[in-house]
A = this chain, B = another copy of it.
């Protein structure tokens, strides 16, 4: 019911992979092109692996083009991930007009705590 999200978030948890997405947002690119900015920091096989993680998460698609693999961003999974987060938007907006109400609800919870935890 909700777990294709894990591989998406896991893919985004790596800064190299986020940078790759940022790069692909500017247009399709081949593995070698994608790798170029990272080759001082890591090897080509490392990039191959990162691309595989992104592909498994559905964030990119690869197409064969002679001896090159052309990589294209697929943002659909980002939409799903964003959708999951949007559920909690009210919690980062509450600090404005909803703060008062929120604090009140916290207070009423605190009041009922004595009873609530007496059962153990």
Contacts and interface: CB of A to CB of B under 8 A. Distances in A.
Number of copies: 2
Most buried by B among A25, A32, A89, A91: A91
Contacts of A2: 15, 18
B88 A25 contact: yes
Majority DSSP secondary structure for residues of A touching B:
helix
Contacts of A99: none
Given A3-B15, A82-B86, 4 more contacts: A2-B18, A6-B15, A9-B9, A13-B13
Interface of A: 2-3, 5-7, 9-10, 12-15, 18, 21-22, 25, 27-28, 30, 32, 65, 68, 73-76, 78-79, 81-82, 84-89, 91-92, 105-106, 109, 113, 117, 120
